Amino acid sequence: MRRMWPEEFNAIISGAEEVVLELPGEAGEAPLRRNALKARITMEDYERIWPLAEMRFRLGHESFAGKAITLITTNPHYHAWHPKDGGSVDAVSESGRHYKTDYIVVHFLLDDVRETSPA
């Protein structure tokens, strides 16, 4: 089954930074490297994408065509990249009311899923 990333969340992906996660290898083996996306998003957006956690989605976003992502949340192999506090920002609305926006840093595993066709 090929699940597509919901278009309503493309803004989260658009602002993400490509990074490489390095996992320790088994004894005597080289560390494992995985491509990933790192994003600082609002807590509100995180709560909206939480139901998509640990599921793989193909991206239709033009800059990530042929890629798939998986939101890391509780996988023990990726504990160092579980969601973390991203700080908060205090601001004042146009009406003069003070409010605070909380952020969280999340990582998505990024895989190449381009399909090749035989010549």
pLDDT tens per residue, range 59-107: 876 778 889 999 999 888 888 889 999 999 998 888 999 989 999 999 9
Per-residue pLDDT for 116 more than 70? no
Q: Are 59 and 53 in contact (CB under 8 A)?
A: no
By C-alpha distance, which of 68, 55, 72 is closest to 21?
A: 72
Between CA 43 and CA 101 the distance in angstroms is: 8
pLDDT tens per residue, range 35-64: 999 999 999 999 999 999 989 999 876 778
Quote the pLDDT of residue 72: 93
Q: Cα separations (Å) of 58 from 44, 101, 114, 119?
A: 23, 29, 10, 24
What are the boundaries of each domain within the chain?
Answer: 16-23+31-112
Per-residue pLDDT for 28 more than 90? no
Per-residue pLDDT for 119 more than 60? no
